[in-house]
Amino acid sequence: MTEEVTEEVTEEQPGSATGATFSTDTFSDFALPEPLLRAIADLEFEFCTPIQSAVLPASLADYDVTGQAQTGTGKTAAFLITILTRIWEDPDGTARGLGNPRALVLAPTRELALQIESDAHDLAKYMKVGIQCVVGGMDFQKQLDRVTGEPMDILIATPGRLIDFINRRKIRLKQVDMLVIDEADRMLDMGFIPDVRKIVYQTPHKRQRQTLFFSATFNDDVMRLARSWTLEPEHVAIAPETVATETVDQHFWLISADRKAHLLAEFLSQVKPPRALVFTNRRDQTHQLQKYLSRQNISCEALAGDVPQRKRLSTLNKFKDGDIPYVVATDVAGRGIHVEGVTHVINFDLPEDPEDYVHRIGRTGRAGAEGTSISFISEDDAFNLPAIEEYLGKPVICTQPDEDLFGKKPAS
């Protein structure tokens, strides 16, 4: 099955739980198990997103799928629905030993893996399914206790930590008949492919398993991986999100590099946006900026790769719950993290990769709400503008800090 399916974003359903774009297909159209439909109804999902409409007919029929789609398009639900349906309709004939998952989901980051685990529990709430997650940066012994003491139908993992468990012979993958590789392009960027290759070789041959392979981009390297690990897949390509130009009001402010922190503090103090994400390019900048803002009596916390995992989860939960209004982050928060109600995204530094720009500002303007992005353009950031202009398909207009948006001109 090799036909390519390309889906365009269709209509938007008002009052939906996510505010994402939807097709006219409903989940009930796919004859899903009744307890799964109940959980979907509890989540207030009715209409499928385009990638769900395109993936589910093939995946539910046990075909391999390669899917090109960005984070936030609904692909996580697509592959989890596929896994849960297969587990329900084709249960194991014999007891499955501890540490022997039936379905394996590989994700590049802890945050994304934990988000997938949370989504899986939501969808499986009326089904007796063992769901476990093993990721780096969290208590190894606690994860080991769960792996060796609780049933495991679905395993969600980051590559490095899973290799640790495999090497200790605590997890075995010979009974995996469903394999999901999520955000393959990020796996490549982060240097995980050697580990992923080792993991895939531990599973049955691709003729004996179903493989769902997702990536935001499909360059030559990603295509080679997809060909190696899938068997005559259905290829689904979803048009990129258009939030960057349709639901986010973009501003590009000219400012010297040494004035950025002062301008940001003044903006947050005067305008008081209800909930804002501030992006920097480096970990050290994230911590320095967070400390500076805190000294200005601005409530905020930092989110970066070197922050302990427990602290990162605490920060995200407080941000989601509205206990802190502002988070200063690296791109670790740009993918896989969905926080509703973000009103502003501020690019303290302009990213080098134009796709990262779109991912960043896509954290606002969600769920049918309007969003605002502000990018500080210094003498250093200007070098990254041409690539962003090309990616957006339109020129970027740089201005002085906007009086209407800012409230008043910043002090000179």
Establish if 411 belongs to a structural domain: no
Are 120 and 257 within one domain?
A: no
Give the residue from 238, 260, 291 where a domain finishes.
Answer: 238
- At residue 230, does pLDDT exceed 90? yes
Mean of pLDDT values over 369-382: 89
Please tell me the predicted confidence (pLDDT) of residue 350. 92
Predicted confidence band of residue 375 (pLDDT cuts 50, 70, 90): very high
Same domain, residue pair 22 and 144: yes
pLDDT class of 394 with cuts at 50, 70, 90: confident
350 and 364 belong to one structural domain:
yes
Which of 12-21, 256-265, 333-342, 370-379 is least confident?
12-21
Q: What pLDDT sits at residue 49?
A: 87
Provide mean pLDDT across the span 236-262: 80
The pLDDT of residue 195: 95
Mean pLDDT of 49-62: 94
Is residue 52 in a domain?
Answer: yes
Closest CA to 252 of 360, 372, 407: 372
Q: Is the pLDDT of residue 1 over 80?
A: no
pLDDT classification of 403: cutoffs 50, 70, 90: low
85: domain CATH number is 3.40.50.300
Domain that holds residue 174: 4-238
Residues 191 and 259 in one domain: no
Same domain assignment for residues 376 and 351? yes
Task: Give yes or no: residues 250 and 206 share one domain.
Answer: no
Question: Are 141 and 230 contained in the same domain?
Answer: yes
pLDDT of residue 411: 42
The answer to whether residue 119 sits within a structural domain is yes
Q: Is residue 80 part of a domain?
A: yes
For residue 164, the model assigns a pLDDT of: 95
Residues sharing a CB contact under 8 Å with residue 17, sequence separation 6 or more, in sequence order: 43, 44, 45
Over residues 145-169, the mean pLDDT reads 95
Last residue of one domain, picked from the residues 238, 269, 287: 238
- The pTM assigned to this predicted structure is 0.67
Q: Within this chain, do residues 263 and 182 fall inside the same structural domain, yes or no?
A: no
Same domain for 202 and 259, yes or no, is: no
Pair 211, 67: CB distance under 8 Å? no
The answer, yes or no, to whether residue 315 has pLDDT greater than 90, is no
Flag whether 21 is in a domain.
yes
pLDDT value, residue 10: 33
Domain identity same for 291 and 278? yes
From CA 96, how far away is CA 92, in angstroms rounded? Answer: 7
Tell me the CA end-to-end span of the chain in Å, nearest whole number.
Answer: 63
- The answer to whether the CB of 232 falls within 8 A of the CB of 1 is yes
Give 284-308 pLDDT, tens digit per residue. Answer: 999 999 999 999 999 999 988 777 7
Check residue 48 and report its DSSP letter.
P
Which residues neighbour 175 within 8 Å (Cβ) at sequence distance 6 or greater?
96, 100, 101, 102, 204
pLDDT digits (tens, 9 = 90+) for 318-369: 998 899 999 999 886 555 456 778 999 999 999 988 878 888 888 888 766 7
pLDDT tens-digit readout, 71-121: 677 899 999 999 999 999 999 877 778 999 999 999 998 888 998 999 999
Rounded average pLDDT over 31-43:
95
Domain boundary among 207, 238, 269: 238
CB 216 within 8 A of CB 174: no
Burial level of 102, CB count in 10 A (0-12/13-18/19+)?
buried
Look at residue 239 in the predicted model and tell me its pLDDT: 66
CA-based torsion, 378, 381, 385, 388: positive or negative: negative
Place of tokens 């509703």: 340
Together in a domain, 262 and 144: no
In a domain? residue 304: yes
Q: Which residue has the higher pLDDT, 272 or 216?
A: 272
Give me the mean pLDDT over the 405-412 stretch: 51
Please report whether residue 412 resides in a domain: no
Q: At 19, is the pLDDT very low, low, confident or very high (cuts 50, 70, 90)?
A: very low
* pLDDT of 8 over the 60 cut: no
* Total domains in the fold of the chain: 2
Digit-coded pLDDT (tens) for 177-220: 999 999 999 898 888 999 999 999 999 999 999 999 999 888 89
Check the CA dihedral 195-198-204-210 and report its sign: positive
Indicate whether 247 and 165 sit together in one domain: no
- Residue 346: its pLDDT value, please? 96
When the pLDDT of each residue in the chain is averaged and rounded to a whole number, the result is 86
